Amino acid sequence: MSKKTILAFVMAGGEGSRLHPLTAERSKPSVPFGARYRIVDFVLSNLVNSGIHAIYLLVQYKSQSLIEHVRKAWVLPPILPGSFITVVPPQMRRGQQWFQGTADAVYQNLNLIRQQSPDLVLVFGADHIYRMDIRQMVDFHLSRQAACTVAALPVPLPQARSFGIIDADADCRIRGFLEKPENPPPMATDPTRAYASMGNYLFNADVLEQALTEAQARDKHDFGKNVLPRLVEDGQVYAYDFGQNRVPGVRDYEEQGYWRDVGTLDAYYEATMDVLGLEPKFDTFNAQWPITSSNYQGPVAKFQNARIDNSIIRAGCLVNGATVKNSVLRREVVLEPEVELDGCIVMDGAIIRRGAKLKRAIVDRYNIIEAGTRIGYDAQADRSHYHVSDSGIVVLPEAQPHTLARTSYEEDS
């Protein structure tokens, strides 16, 4: 990667309404993922692993949980000059209003770009599960002498109708954007696939400032709908093929170029299941490209007469005489004797009493499931008591903290 100075804005203000009730008390980037991560950890890890250490995290909706997580988990060594991860709520420097869109969020913080004086500015989302060596995107951008580069995910044409699609020529120069088109234009190099926009952008700093100023004058506030189509007219916007990105340490059995938008309950559930197994689609263990998160200081997990298969269980859990299959347990979960879990995600501090059986369920933190409860076995009964996704995943919202927690360690989720 060139020695260009790079500043990153991470758009972490998502309300995540389609992930409700998991977002009832937290923003979408703060939703837990896997046994120890938050969704936001993936973009932050990608940036830091790529040597990009000047990062502003723009937050908005229900941001306290995210702010606390970043404060505890994402402190860069102060000895490194120009290294920081700073949370930026709406400053209302230009009026009494919150961010009106992605472009407006950065526009309201143009002062930060001017203070840092970078050569390049990254604008990345905080809503996706993936690994990416961003240095390769930077090198592509510089080689094309681009004004702006958009990260593009190759997707099969039948699926392309569900994405914002990029129309690009053989040199990857973007000709236009189409939102969920009926007849998506194929990639110039592969007629069976199309480029989907990943919502990750790289700008020359001067180009970005001018584009945002012009967009604000036209009362336009979104990158994908307003800023990028205008820049395309000048002919220097390119698509970076994420399918060509290679991250160190990714194993042959993994899905190369893994990227998931976990914006719905079903997508979130399926992506969580993708980390399970001896040869998962997305292996969270990669010593060469680690996903970093909080450093929980509680006790190790404890098992007594337990039966565990194809599951991930975090520290502080007690599994006593229970059966756990195809599931993820976050910290300090208690399973009593004769409990059966199959295809479940159970979050911090939950207690599941004797004989309860759960299948294809997401249990948010602090829930206490009473003895003998059945969840996931009777669709009609589930819908009368709980939130149920389109595919039948039963979701229990976050409960109030209880006094039965096994430890006093605090880690806001």
**pLDDT at 93 (0 to 100):** 60
Confidence band (pLDDT; 50, 70, 90) for 397? very high
pLDDT at 413 over 60: no
Paired with 241 in beta bridges are 152
pLDDT at 407 over 60: no
361-363 and 394-396 strand pairing: parallel
What is the percent of the chain where pLDDT is above 70?
95
Torsions phi, psi for 215 (to 5 deg): -65, -40
| Structure confidence by residue, pLDDT tens digits, 198-226 | 999 999 999 999 999 997 888 777 788 88
Paired with 194 in beta bridges are 155
Per the domain annotation, does 290 fall within a domain?
Answer: no
**pLDDT at 216 (0 to 100):** 83
Name the amino acid, one letter, at 3.
K
Q: Which one, of 103, 354, 105, 112, lies nearest residue 231 by Cα?
A: 103
What is the percent of the chain where pLDDT is above 90?
79
More confident residue, 162 or 150: 150
CB 387, CB 21: distance < 8 Å: yes
- Collapsing DSSP states into helix, strand and coil, what is residue 298? coil
**pLDDT at 195 (0 to 100):** 97
Domain end marker among 231, 261, 291 = 261
Question: Hunting for tokens 């998160």 — which residue is that?
Answer: 293
CB 100, CB 71: distance < 8 Å: no
**Same domain, yes or no, for 253 and 319?**
no
Can you give the CATH number for the domain in which 360 is found? 2.160.10.10
| Structure confidence by residue, pLDDT tens digits, 76-87 | 887 777 899 999
Q: In the chain, how long is the greatest CA-to-CA distance?
A: 67
CB 350, CB 365: distance < 8 Å: yes
Per the domain annotation, does 247 fall within a domain?
Answer: yes
Can you give the CATH number for the domain in which 69 is found? 3.90.550.10
**Same domain, yes or no, for 89 and 210?**
yes
More confident residue, 14 or 227: 227
pLDDT at 91 over 80: no
Name the amino acid, one letter, at 240.
Y
| Structure confidence by residue, pLDDT tens digits, 334-364 | 999 999 999 999 999 999 999 999 999 999 9
What separation in angstroms does the CA of 51 have from each of 76, 178, 288?
12, 33, 13
Long-range CB contacts for residues 405-409, cutoff 8 Å, separation at least 24: 405/332, 405/349, 406/316, 406/318, 406/332, 406/334, 407/298, 407/299, 407/316, 407/332, 409/296, 409/297, 409/298, 409/316, 409/332
**Same domain, yes or no, for 314 and 236?**
no
**Same domain, yes or no, for 236 and 312?**
no
The residues near 379 (Cβ < 8 Å, ≥ 6 apart) are 388, 392
**pLDDT at 78 (0 to 100):** 76
d(CA 105, CA 92) in angstroms, rounded, equals 10
* Structural domain boundaries enclosing 373: 302-396
- Using a 10 angstrom Cβ sphere, with 0-12 exposed, 13-18 middle and 19 or more buried, the burial of residue 226 is buried
**pLDDT at 408 (0 to 100):** 47
Sheet holding 302-304, edge to edge: 302-304, 318-320, 334-335, 351-352, 368-369
Per the domain annotation, does 402 fall within a domain?
Answer: no
**Same domain, yes or no, for 242 and 383?**
no
**Same domain, yes or no, for 320 and 384?**
yes
Confidence band (pLDDT; 50, 70, 90) for 298? confident
Q: Which one, of 17, 14, 16, 31, lies nearest residue 272 by Cα?
A: 31
* CA contacts within 13 A on the Cβ side of 21: 15
Domain count, the chain: 2
164-168 and 174-179 strand pairing: antiparallel
Per the domain annotation, does 326 fall within a domain?
Answer: yes
Per the domain annotation, does 288 fall within a domain?
Answer: no
Average pLDDT over residues 59-64: 88
CB 73, CB 104: distance < 8 Å: no
Describe the chain by its helix, strand, coil percentages, rounded to 5. Answer: 25, 25, 50
Domain end marker among 244, 261, 278 = 261
Domain end marker among 206, 234, 261 = 261
Reduced 3-state DSSP string for 198-249? EEEEEEEHHHHHHHHHHHHHCCCCCHHHHHHHHHHCCCCEEEEEHHHCCCCC
**Same domain, yes or no, for 197 and 145?**
yes
pLDDT at 1 over 80: no
**Same domain, yes or no, for 237 and 352?**
no
**Same domain, yes or no, for 41 and 165?**
yes
**pLDDT at 99 (0 to 100):** 63
| Structure confidence by residue, pLDDT tens digits, 255-287 | 999 999 999 999 999 999 999 999 999 999 999
Confidence band (pLDDT; 50, 70, 90) for 96? low
d(CA 9, CA 122) in angstroms, rounded, equals 6
d(CA 340, CA 357) in angstroms, rounded, equals 5
